[in-house]
């Protein structure tokens, strides 16, 4: 985790501060003494190994022991911090700041209304079927852009073009492309008008794309 210091000398100082703060706030943080005890034991082992490793007469075994002790302590700290400190309602952001822990935004990131519109074409290669393939006009990538839940498709079988998308009487929603319409054989040869717009997960809609039409094959 990024908040854990990389250098041993900084790690020693950070762990001391974290342990001291948690020990004085166990009741406030709703943490039982026994839960925190393994951290204290591992830290005792780590500090002893670290002291030997910085001794001028240290050997390769001392270095290896120090590395293993730190690895064990870090692993336990990650688990403990995630379970009891990072997301606990009993720990304030001010507490996390004092313990030099990251502060996570618990509020969902707002999703803005779509600002772009879909571009699309219509595949007429299969009898009685029209497949509407759509993509974003800004990115030109097939499918929906980031933050968009899907596309509202207005459509209608009619002889004349509508003045606006809202004049089309039918509406369907598609979360993936292509969206296929299946017609009965008696509708073959009739013209269908389409218009699409993006919609986010809150139901907020973007601008309409262009009106297009195709004949039922």
Q: pLDDT, tens digit, for every residue of 78-121?
A: 999 999 999 999 999 999 999 999 987 666 667 789 999 999 99
pLDDT at 147 over 90: no
Shared-domain flag, residues 168 and 204: yes
pLDDT given for residue 106 in this prediction: 61
The stretches of the chain forming alpha helices (DSSP H) are: 8-23, 33-53, 60-84, 93-98
Cα–Cα distance for residue pair 53/16, rounded to 1 Å: 18
SS3 content of the chain, % helix, strand, coil (to 5): 35, 20, 45
> What is the token pair recorded at 55?
């001794």
Mean pLDDT on 187-197: 97
pLDDT (tens digit, 9 = 90+) per residue, 150-168? 999 999 999 999 999 999 9
Same domain? For 52 and 131 the reply is no
> Quick count: other Cβ atoms within 10 Å of Cβ 161?
11
Q: Is the alpha carbon torsion for 137, 139, 142, 144 positive or negative? A: negative
Give yes or no: residues 90 and 125 share one domain.
no
List, in order, residues 6 or more apart from 17 with CB less than 8 Å away.
99, 100
Residues 174 and 202 in one domain: yes
Give the model's pLDDT for residue 202.
83
Q: How distant, in Å, are the alpha carbons of 6, 131, 176, 188, 196 from that of 215?
A: 66, 12, 23, 7, 18
Structural domain contains residue 107: no
Domain extent for 169: 118-215
Mean pLDDT across 25-51 = 94
Tell me, yes or no, whether 3 lies in a domain: no
Is 112 among the domain residues? no
Residue that the structure tokens 């000398």 belong to: 9
Q: What is the pLDDT of residue 139?
A: 83
β-strand partners of 185: none
Contacts with 143 (C-beta within 8 Å, 6 or more apart), sequence order: 134, 135, 136, 176, 177
């Amino acid at each position: 985790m990024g908040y854990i210091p990389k250098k041993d000398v900084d790690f020693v100082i950070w762990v001391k501060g974290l342990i001291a703060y948690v020990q004085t706030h166990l009741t406030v943080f709703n943490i039982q003494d026994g839960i925190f005890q393994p951290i204290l034991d591992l830290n005792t082992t780590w500090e002893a190994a670290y002291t030997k490793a910085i001794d001028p007469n240290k050997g390769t075994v001392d270095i290896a022991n120090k590395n293993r002790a730190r690895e064990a302590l870090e692993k336990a700290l990650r688990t403990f911090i995630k379970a009891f400190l990072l997301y606990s309602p009993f720990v304030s952001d001010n507490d996390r700041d004092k313990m030099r822990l990251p502060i996570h935004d618990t509020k969902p990131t707002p999703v803005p209304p779509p600002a772009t519109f879909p571009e699309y074409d219509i595949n007429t290669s299969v009898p009685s079927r029209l497949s509407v393939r759509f993509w974003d006009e800004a990115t030109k990538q097939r499918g929906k852009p980031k933050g968009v839940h899907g596309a509202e498709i207005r459509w209608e079988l009619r002889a004349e073009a509508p003045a606006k998308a809202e004049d089309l009487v039918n509406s369907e929603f598609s979360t993936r492309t292509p969206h296929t319409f299946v017609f009965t054989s008696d509708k073959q040869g009739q013209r269908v008008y389409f218009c699409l717009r993006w919609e986010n997960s809150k139901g907020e809609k973007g601008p309409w794309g262009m009106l297009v039409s195709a004949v039922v094959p």
